[in-house]
Amino acid sequence: MGYWVKRIALKDGEVVTERELREDENRFYGLAPVIGDLIEVTCRGRKFMAEVVWGNPPGRSISEGVVVPLRVSEVGLDPATPLRFPHGRTFAPRK
């Protein structure tokens, strides 16, 4: 069992997707953290804390051998910041 961070929302609202990350970057073995947990991630040469915002709800049972995809946001991201994706789309602030 393991987990793989596939999307990272940075403090400035930019979203880094798995296309930019190396396949072995932010891939971990062991129990996947649940939504709300803080984990350390690496992105663009920096290591920082991020909150799990999607992927593994509390109480979910996961089969052995499954890699759980996660989405995280950098600690300090203002919820009012619009999210910007690499392909040019912008999403309104989250409520």
State the DSSP code for 25.
T
pLDDT: which is higher, 38 or 1: 38
Neighbours of 62 (CB within 10 A): 14
Under 8 Å between Cβ of 82 and 90: yes
User: 4-56: per-residue pLDDT in tens?
Assistant: 999 999 999 999 998 888 888 999 998 889 999 999 999 999 999 999 999 98
* 77: pLDDT strictly greater than 90: yes
Which residues, in sequence order, are CB contacts of 30 under 8 Å at separation 6+?
1, 2, 3
* 95: pLDDT strictly greater than 60: no
